[in-house]
Amino acid sequence: MDEKQIQKVIAEVLKRLVPHLGTTGQRGDVIVVFTGATGGFTEAIQQVRALVIRGFRVQLVFSRAAELLYGPVIWKELEGFPQVVPLDDTKWLRDLKDAKAVVVPLLSVNTLSRLSLLIADNLASNLILHALFIGKPLVLAQNGVDPSDKGRVERHFPHCSALVAGAIRERLEVVRSYGCEVVDVGELSVALEAILEQKPTSARGNGQAKGAAKLVNFGRGKIITAADVLQAQHSGQPIRLHDSKVITPLARELALKHGVNITTEV
């Protein structure tokens, strides 16, 4: 019996056991957003099941790309699990306010880029961004975008240039600086538990933003990244470029977007 067959057996056993474990969603709702990534797909399904077993009610949301790629497959994999329902897109903001957290088990480069630039032009990105706005815990799985992830290397990134890989990692650092928890897909449910037990959700984002502002350092010879721009914005400082400094393209874009002044000094 190979690994896939074993996983199918485990899933079938869980489907039969879970309804008898008293999983009533008593711990509240968690909104799970699937975007168009594929890295960590099997583990993502397992983490949704784990949330149900831990006592949460799961509301599923799919980006258009995710719905086309594997929406029906995910629903089939979760068939028989209680407390898994589609989110009502006509009242998504109310449901978000009532939810305990937002979890993104399959994060695409497209959605990551939108989030790093604070762009919300569809339901999935609106949910993710508004979770930050109202201080909800937001847990993202990095496997779908991390160039060094084994699945990405084997399937998509065998010839990824260092420049492209660096741009993706920079975007991950930006969303971390916003207050997102970025973890391996296999740690999603555990990470969420730790966040909910650690502190009130309303205090989480504010604390991280204040901590980031203390790290502002525009010393000579430093490469200015998007994270530096965000720190400058929080602290109200301009960015001064010397001859020995370099600023990344994403950092320039964010500086323009957020009104951070960049001056050049010789």
Q: Say yes or no: 119 and 181 in one domain.
A: yes
Owning domain of residue 105: 3-209
In this prediction, residue 81 carries a pLDDT of 84
In this prediction, residue 210 carries a pLDDT of 39
The residue type found at 251 is A
Please state, as a whole number, how many other Cβ atoms lie within 10 Å of the Cβ of residue 147.
Answer: 19
Q: Say yes or no: 164 and 237 in one domain.
A: no
Q: Say yes or no: 157 and 189 in one domain.
A: yes
Q: What would the two tokens of residue 142 be?
A: 């990095």
Q: What's 71's domain CATH number?
A: 3.40.50.1950
Q: Say yes or no: 177 and 218 in one domain.
A: no
pTM more than 0.85: no
In 3D, which of 186, 191, 211, 87 has the Cα closest to residue 138?
191
Boundary of a domain, candidates 167, 193, 209 = 209
Whole-angstrom distance, CA of residue 81 vs CA of residue 59 = 12
Q: Say yes or no: 252 and 165 in one domain.
A: no
Q: Say yes or no: 204 and 255 in one domain.
A: no
Boundary of a domain, candidates 182, 209, 236 = 209
Q: Say yes or no: 30 and 128 in one domain.
A: yes
Boundary of a domain, candidates 179, 209, 239 = 209
Q: Say yes or no: 155 and 33 in one domain.
A: yes
If phi > 0 it is left, if psi is from -120 to 50 it is alpha, else beta; for residue 135 that is left
- Sequence-distant (≥ 6) Cβ neighbours of residue 147 within 8 angstroms: 153, 157, 160, 164, 165, 168, 169
The residue type found at 111 is T
Q: Say yes or no: 123 and 22 in one domain.
A: yes
Q: What would the two tokens of residue 220 be?
A: 């000579």
How many domains does the chain fold into? 2
In this prediction, residue 46 carries a pLDDT of 92
Residue environment code for 25-40, b if the CB has 16+ CB neighbours within 10 A, otherwise e: bebebbbbbbbbbbbb
Tally of helices (H runs) and strands (E runs) in the chain: 12, 10
Q: Say yes or no: 147 and 254 in one domain.
A: no
Q: Say yes or no: 198 and 218 in one domain.
A: no
Q: Say yes or no: 231 and 165 in one domain.
A: no
Residues (pLDDT < 70) of the chain are: 1-23, 149-159, 199-222, 227, 234, 243-244, 265-266
In this prediction, residue 25 carries a pLDDT of 81
